[in-house]
Amino acid sequence: MKVLGIESSGDTGGVALVDAGRPLGEIVVDLRGAHTQRLLPAVRDLLRGVGRTISEVEGVAVSLGPGSFTGLRAGLGLGKGLAYAVRVRLVGIPTLEVLACDAGPGEWVLAVADARRGEIFSSLYRRVDRRLEACWPAELGRVEDLAARLTDRMAVGSPGVAVVSDGAGPLEAIGQALARAGIRVGTAIRAAPRPVVVARLGARRLAGDVGDDPMTLEPLYVRRSDAEEGRRG
C-alpha cells in the first residue's frame, strides 16, 4: 500500500511516501510562516522525484498534533483535500507518537514537545510486541509534574525511560527533574517529527483497515489558541 505522509506540526515538516512500509522518498522543508504555500509543492516534487502520480497513492496519513495551530490546520486541510480528490482513506497520527518512534531503546518512552510559555506537551508510551502503546494521551503541563506521572505508570524497578524531545531546553530540564525524583533516563534524544514516520504509522493502521472520517477528523490542539484564551480572559 502506497501511503503519503504529511508532517506540519512545527517549523520543520514535509511529506513522504512509503510502499508496504518501505520508504520511497521524503522531502523536508522549512514551514515557518509558509505552511500552506510549501506543503502542496512538496507533494508534487516528491511524487515527481519517485516517479509516481497522485492517482497511485492509496492512503493519506497526517500528523495531528499537538503543535502549531496554523501548521496543523494546513496539513490536515491538505490531507483531507488529497484523500477526497483521490478517493482514498485518511488517517490521523498523534505527533508525539511520531516523535516516540525515534526514541532510543527501552520498554518505556517519554515523548515531549515544547509548548512554550514554560509548558510542555507529553505522552508516555510502552513498547509491547515492538509497537508503542500510549499510557496517556497528549497533555499539557509543566516539566515538574512529569516525575509523579511517570511514577504512577512505570513498573517498580523499571530500568529507566527513553526520552525524545523536539527541543534542547525541555530535554535538559526533563532529565534534571526526573533525576531528582530518582527516575533514570536511559537515553535522551532531540529530534523533530519525521514525515516518513507519519507515513509508516499510517500505512500500518490502514493495512489493518483503520481509517478516520475526513468530515470529523480534527487536529489535537490540546491547548486553546491565543484568541480563545483572550476571549476566556
Considering the domain architecture, whether residues 128 and 183 belong to the same structural domain is answered as yes
User: Is the pLDDT reported for residue 225 higher than 80?
Assistant: no
pLDDT band at 223 (very low <50, low <70, confident <90, very high): confident
Mean pLDDT of 6-31: 96
Considering the domain architecture, whether residues 147 and 200 belong to the same structural domain is answered as no
Considering the domain architecture, whether residues 118 and 181 belong to the same structural domain is answered as yes
The Cα–Cα gap between 183 and 199 comes to 33
pLDDT of 157 reads 58
Report the number of distinct structural domains present in the chain.
Answer: 2
Cell of 60: 493519506
Burial of 19 (0-12, 13-18, 19+ CB in 10 A): middle
Considering the domain architecture, whether residues 124 and 158 belong to the same structural domain is answered as yes
Mean pLDDT of 73-77: 96
**Distances in Å between the alpha carbon of 89 and those of 39, 83, 208, 210?**
19, 6, 12, 9
pLDDT band at 232 (very low <50, low <70, confident <90, very high): very low
pLDDT band at 227 (very low <50, low <70, confident <90, very high): very low
Mean pLDDT of 90-116: 94
Helix (H, G, I), strand (E, B) or coil at 51: coil
Mean pLDDT of 64-78: 95
The Cα–Cα gap between 89 and 84 comes to 8
Considering the domain architecture, whether residues 208 and 170 belong to the same structural domain is answered as no
Higher pLDDT, 174 or 36: 174
pLDDT of 169 reads 80
Higher pLDDT, 36 or 197: 197
Higher pLDDT, 21 or 76: 76
Question: Percentage of the chain with pLDDT > 70?
Answer: 94
pLDDT of 198 reads 98
pLDDT of 142 reads 93
Note the Cα 210 to chain centre separation in Å: 18
Considering the domain architecture, whether residues 8 and 90 belong to the same structural domain is answered as yes
pTM, rounded to two decimals: 0.93
Cell of 24: 520511497
Mean pLDDT of 93-98: 97
Question: Percentage of the chain with pLDDT > 90?
Answer: 69
Considering the domain architecture, whether residues 140 and 213 belong to the same structural domain is answered as no
Name the helix (H) or strand (E) containing 151: helix 146-153
User: Is the pLDDT reported for residue 156 higher than 70?
Assistant: no
Considering the domain architecture, whether residues 205 and 186 belong to the same structural domain is answered as no
Burial of 102 (0-12, 13-18, 19+ CB in 10 A): middle
Helix (H, G, I), strand (E, B) or coil at 84: helix
pLDDT of 153 reads 76
CA-wise closest residue to 193 among 116, 105, 121: 121
User: Does residue 159 have a cis peptide bond before it, meaning omega lies within 30 degrees of 0?
Assistant: no
Considering the domain architecture, whether residues 50 and 82 belong to the same structural domain is answered as yes
CA-wise closest residue to 67 among 224, 220, 231, 233: 220
Domain enclosing residue 125, as ranges: 103-190
Considering the domain architecture, whether residues 182 and 108 belong to the same structural domain is answered as yes
Considering the domain architecture, whether residues 114 and 176 belong to the same structural domain is answered as yes
Considering the domain architecture, whether residues 110 and 155 belong to the same structural domain is answered as yes
Q: Which of 56-65, 143-152, 215-224 has the lowest mean pLDDT?
A: 143-152
pLDDT of 231 reads 45
What CATH number is associated with residue 70?
A: 3.30.420.40
